[in-house]
Amino acid sequence: MTLRLYNTMSRRVEEVKQPDDMLKMYVCGITPYDHSHVGHAMSYIIFDVLRRFLEYRGFKVKHVQNYTDIDDRIIARAAERGITYDELAAIYIEEYEDEMRELNVLPADVYPRATQEIPQIIEMVQGLIEKGRAYAVESGDVYFDVRGDPGYGKLSGRDVDSMRAGARVEPGEEKHDPADFALWKAAKPGEPSWESPWGPGRPGWHIECSAMSYRYLGATLDMHGGGQDLIFPHHENEIAQAEGFTGVKPFVRHWLHNGWLTLDEEKMSKSLGNIITIREALERYGSDGIRIFVMTAHYRAPLAYSEEAMEAGKRAAERLQLAASVPGGEGPAADIPGDEYRERFGASMDDDLNTAGALASLFDLARNINRARDEGRAVDEAQATLRELAGVLGLTLRERETAQGADAFIELLVELRNDLRHEKQFALSDKVRDRLLDLGITLEDVQSGTRWRRRD
């Protein structure tokens, strides 16, 4: 009963120790300039499952997740739409929070926003300059001095010389070294800006996470998570800033990174344009279906998006939902040992969050419930175990329905199908019947008309 998780820093699976007080967890949040996609859903579902399992194991977790509510993409998109940067960010933050609620992702304890943390960010930049770790240049930009940090590159395993070779100095930048990165960016004409000791400007991306995690969680975090694409440069830079400012090492005890979601063998990303939005996926597959799809793979492995895999997730969710909700018989209680299932489930999760193994024990439990029910046995207790363990994975096992209730829509479709049949449009009328069947609705033509029922 010891949770072990891979640590990106040590490149080993390590035991997670119970801290004296709260387990401090920081997860990098979104940049709200556009709809969030299934790749984001995957990452936040994984960290939600981790948090739920930690709490199930008795850890008290304090979870902080930021919003990068100012950056180049936000400024550009807001200008395109003729609204302010904060109006744009508010739209996508609200949408993200709605979608996370629907995905049954527990909210973080604090959601700091970069633009609301400017004094803390300035203080950290100032401190880094005073300690000789950063420098301001003529234009009003401030850069971190990578050469002055012998530990730089320890998370990503890169050496500074190779970074320097790959780094570009943009026109107008006055870096001492191409590998140096911006802590503070002087405002260009017309851009939103904040007053600072170096003139009007705005924070660089990396510094906000160091400043916010320090403010809300202190100098050392127990866990820090994000997608693998954040390892370099973002998390490498967070370490350099935080350890440079506080002098406390390590900044993070346990680094956790999830694999990419791929679509047609490429990473799903807004810049590549190959995205499925969370909204689309929720409508098609439901929260439990998406969560099961994500959990069938190991969190560190890449996961390939396909409609077939999402459909399979949805059907698996329906199987669990039926096993957990259809009442059993009047006979003696089924002989299904809940504790054995808890143990198997927990052993899988302890093993670097083997969610596929944990799901396998849920499906096994569901099969046993169905079998016992067919024998007329009572299954309430086994169903309660199934609900309990599914809940640790954030599965609601709720029947899917639209906000207005599905029945009226089903009736409308049945009526439409009958109209099509009268018009002898059989291809279309059959399509309606088949699609309803896919959704678990069976139609039965009787003398008085058409009856429909949910398949059980």
Residue 148 and residue 128: Cα distance in Å, rounded? 11
Classify the C-alpha dihedral 422-425-429-430 as positive or negative.
positive
- The stretch near Zn ion (CB under 5 A) out of 11-19, 21-29, 253-261, 406-414 is 21-29
- The stretch near Zn ion (CB under 5 A) out of 26-34, 114-122, 332-340, 380-388 is 26-34
Task: Return the number of the residue (28 or 155) whose C-beta is nearest Zn ion.
Answer: 28
Task: Return the number of the residue (209 or 414) whose C-beta is nearest Zn ion.
Answer: 209
Give which of 338, 357, 237 is closest to 297, Cα–Cα: 357
Q: Read off φ and ψ for residue 136, nearest 5 degrees.
A: -95, 145
Minimum distance from CB of 214 to Zn ion (Å)? 12
Which residues inside 298-357 make contact with Zn ion, applying CB under 5 A?
none
Which residues inside 390-449 make contact with Zn ion, applying CB under 5 A?
none
Minimum distance from CB of 67 to Zn ion (Å)? 11
Residue 122 makes contact with Zn ion by CB under 5 A: no
Task: Return the number of the residue (209 or 295) whose C-beta is nearest Zn ion.
Answer: 209
Residue 360 and residue 293: Cα distance in Å, rounded? 13
Minimum distance from CB of 234 to Zn ion (Å)? 6
- Count residues near Zn ion (CB under 5 A): 2
Minimum distance from CB of 175 to Zn ion (Å)? 22
Q: Read off φ and ψ for residue 12, nearest 5 degrees.
A: -135, 160
Minimum distance from CB of 103 to Zn ion (Å)? 21
Task: Return the number of the residue (33 or 345) whose C-beta is nearest Zn ion.
Answer: 33
Minimum distance from CB of 305 to Zn ion (Å)? 24
119 prior amide bond cis, ω within 30:
no
- The stretch near Zn ion (CB under 5 A) out of 22-30, 134-142, 307-315, 367-375 is 22-30
The torsion angle over the Cα atoms of residues 268, 273, 276 and 277, rounded to 10 degrees, is 110
The answer to whether 25 and 51 are in contact (CB under 8 A) is: yes
Among 28, 212, 221, 413, contact with Zn ion (rule: CB under 5 A): 28
Query: What character string, x for contact with Zn ion (CB under 5 A) and - otherwise, covers 183-222?
Result: --------------------------x-------------
> Radius of gyration of the chain from Cα atoms?
26
Using alpha carbons, list the distances in angstroms from residue 422 to 114, 428, 437.
Answer: 61, 12, 21
Minimum distance from CB of 115 to Zn ion (Å)? 15
Distance between first and last Cα of the chain: 38
Task: Return the number of the residue (28 or 45) whose C-beta is nearest Zn ion.
Answer: 28
250 prior amide bond cis, ω within 30:
yes
Task: Return the number of the residue (30 or 209) whose C-beta is nearest Zn ion.
Answer: 209
Give which of 100, 49, 60, 56 is closest to 354, Cα–Cα: 49
Task: Return the number of the residue (33 or 293) whose C-beta is nearest Zn ion.
Answer: 33
Task: Return the number of the residue (108 or 209) whose C-beta is nearest Zn ion.
Answer: 209
Minimum distance from CB of 28 to Zn ion (Å)? 3
Task: Return the number of the residue (207 or 389) whose C-beta is nearest Zn ion.
Answer: 207
- The stretch near Zn ion (CB under 5 A) out of 27-35, 171-179, 333-341, 370-378 is 27-35
Q: 443: which strand partners? A: 452
Minimum distance from CB of 47 to Zn ion (Å)? 13
The answer to whether 77 and 34 are in contact (CB under 8 A) is: yes
Query: What character string, x for contact with Zn ion (CB under 5 A) and - otherwise, covers 44-83?
Result: ----------------------------------------
DSSP state of 108: P
DSSP assignments along 143-185, one per residue: EE-GGG-TTTTTTTT--HHHHHHH--PPTT---SSTT-EEEEE
Minimum distance from CB of 265 to Zn ion (Å)? 27
Residue appearing with tokens 């399992």:
53
Q: Which residues contact 102 (CB under 8 A, 6 or more apart)?
A: 282, 287
Token pair of 306, please? 């396909």
Task: Return the number of the residue (28 or 397) whose C-beta is nearest Zn ion.
Answer: 28
Residues that bind Zn ion (CB under 5 A): 28, 209
